[in-house]
Chains A and B, each alone.
Chain A
Amino acid sequence: GNSVTQMEGPVTLSEEAFLTINCTYTATGYPSLFWYVQYPGEGLQLLLKATKADDKGSNKGFEATYRKETTSFHLEKGSVQVSDSAVYFCALSSSNTGNQFYFGTGTSLTVIP
């Protein structure tokens, strides 16, 4: 079946620190992979995505590379800001399952000045 496992939180970092949030997946077929971000009191917003192996998604300084050999899609940012404080969700979608989404449990990030 399809599932996503992501790094447990919460994560607390100082401003300008390097961020990695791990995400691994199990899927049938060839899924698309996503990172969504949820700011306090809001719905989820797409942060970046990758639709095939070795693709790199990037947005707002965040990056993630679709690694088929390790079934991973780790989120990274070189220098976090206070405004990056949010909950981050890894997700996959596969045409084999009618494009339904499977979400990880979310990782809470707090960046302190």
Chain B
Amino acid sequence: IAGITQAPTSQILAAGRRMTLRCTQDMRHNAMYWYRQDLGLGLRLIHYSNTAGTTGKGEVPDGYSVSRANTDDFPLTLASAVPSQTSVYFCASSGGTSINEQFFGPGTRLTVL
């Protein structure tokens, strides 16, 4: 692994189902982030974690939860998916020698029907 990986690449989900998007980084970055990208709205922060064991809410946290049990993994869970959660989801991390820069994963395209 080099950088950030996300899984799945894409998913079609029935409304009401539970879904976990996975994110793993191998850069030993302290901070990790989840964004959603919607046309005309840019990227909006859902949740973040400044270090393992801590999490915080971003701009649009409702309907989503996260956990940060270790440095490398930062899963995002939709407990009961709704169509408005149809989006492209990006995981990012920052830390190390370039504290400010964020590094992004390739994204997960989620469609909720």
Contacts and interface: CB of A to CB of B under 8 A. Distances in A.
A43 B105 contact: yes
Interface of B: 4, 31, 33, 35, 40-43, 45, 48, 50, 56, 58, 90, 92, 94, 99-107
A99 B100 contact: yes
- Counting contact residues on chain A (CB < 8 A from B), the size range is 20 to 34
Q: SS class of chain A's interface: helix, strand, loop or mixed?
A: strand
Q: SS class of chain B's interface: helix, strand, loop or mixed?
A: strand
Interface stretch (A62-70, A73-81, A103-111): A103-111
Given A42-B106, A49-B101, A89 B31 contact: no
B41 A105 contact: yes
B100 A89 contact: no
Closest 7 CB pairs of A and B: A43-B104, A105-B42, A103-B43, A44-B104, A43-B106, A32-B100, A103-B42
